[in-house]
Amino acid sequence: QVQLVESGGGVVQPGRSLRLSCAASGFTFSSSDMHWVRQAPGKGLEWVAFISYDGTKKYYADSVKGRFTISRDNSKNTLYLQMNSLRTEDTAVYYCAKDPGLYSYFDHWGQGTLVTVS
């Protein structure tokens, strides 16, 4: 079955950096588009970033553009999110999510990793 396991969250000071990882299994990772979605405490869901299956296409929410970088290593079945110049408003649970294709929806989600900027 599909498994997505995020790691790398923690407490970080404003202006510092953090890198999140998402280990994937149970499906062909190298053929799957992937996303990061976040949820601030007590708030709704916010899409953060997209990467195509081969890494050639990347898109970002305006709120993180220029500060966050999504990447992937298909040889390791791992998705990454490099977060630089962190702000207090970036505090959230970060989920990696699988896209079934055609720029559509999120059919599987990880359990999330909490990032606290303080």
Partner 1 sequence: SYVLTQPPSVSVAPGKTANITCGGKNIGSKSVHWYQQKPGQAPVLVIYYDSDRPSGIPERFSGSNSGNTATLTISRVEAGDEADYYCQVWDSRSDHPDWVFGGGTKLTVL
Binding site for partner 1 (CB under 8 A): 35, 37, 44-47, 50, 59, 61-62, 95, 103-112
Nearer to partner 1 (CB atom), residue 80 or residue 113: 113
* CB-nearer residue toward partner 1: 23 or 61: 61
For residue 107, the minimal CB distance to partner 1 (Å) is: 6
Q: Tell me the closest approach of the beta carbon of residue 29 to partner 1, in angstroms.
A: 18
Pairing outcome for strands 45-51 and 10-12: unpaired
Question: Which of 35/72 has CB closer to partner 1?
Answer: 35
Q: Which amino acid, 110?
A: G
Nearest 5°: phi and psi at 35? Answer: -135, 165
Both tokens of residue 6? 């995020």
Structure tokens at 82: 């490099």
| Cβ 93 to partner 1 shortest distance, Å | 9
* Torsion 32-79-52-108 (CA) sign: positive
CB of 38 to partner 1, least distance (A): 11
Residue whose CB is less far from partner 1, 25 or 111: 111
CB atoms within 10 A of CB 9: 17
